[in-house]
Copies of this chain bind each other. A is one copy, B any other.
Amino acid sequence: MLTLAILGFLAERPMHAYELRKQISELTGHTRPLSDGALYPAINRLEKAGHIERRPEAPTSGRGPTRQVLTLTATGRAELRRRLSEPAEVEITDGASFFTLLAFLSHLPEPADQARLLQRRLDFLTAPAGFFYSGDTPLRIADVEDRYRRGMLVMARATSRAERQWLTETLAELTNCD
């Protein structure tokens, strides 16, 4: 997901690693902090893979380390699109991962491809699964004895409802636009 965020932000414009860190922190940092020990190795991996290029900046004044301008290459942009159009199953089911996909979904040029992702998430949320159900039949809130498990159920249902509503609305908008 970190890799995706790097590709996604660099698709908007070239940036220094430091700026990238701020952008990513703004997006997901409130939930889990981003460490330099994760960011810089991730950048190096992307560079080795040929997805980004780095160019040292001419020193404006005598700063410590010279800043590197990071640019997305053509294959990098292709990789971003691939990740967005063929996401792994976990990236659909895991809420945090799905949100990261959403954040960059506009980089997919085809609205139909965008819609496919939303539909997959909607299908997942609509399917009877997880701790909402015991077997095939939905759990009744009152049947859950533990107060906190009951809370989990109440919150998960509310979240799911809000998300399904937005997904349904947006899918309708996307198909109308065609």
Contacts from A to B (Cβ < 8 Å): 26-27, 29-33, 90, 93-96, 99, 102-103, 105-106, 114, 129-131, 146-149, 151-152, 154-155, 158-159, 162-163, 166, 170, 173
Contact = CB atoms under 8 A, between A and B. Distances in A.
Which applies to chain A's interface (DSSP): helix, strand, loop or mixed?
helix
Given A154-B166, A155-B163, A155-B166, 10 more contacts: A29-B130, A30-B130, A31-B95, A33-B90, A95-B95, A96-B96, A106-B147, A151-B166, A158-B159, A159-B162
B103 A149 contact: yes
B31 A106 contact: no
A32 B148 contact: no
Given A30-B131, A31-B94, A155 B162 contact: yes
Nearest to A145: B106
Contacts of A129: 30
Q: Which of A29, A31, A33, A170 has the most CB of B within 10 A?
A: A31
Contacts of A131: 26-27, 30
Contacts of A95: 31, 95-96
Given A95-B96, A158-B162, A151 B102 contact: yes
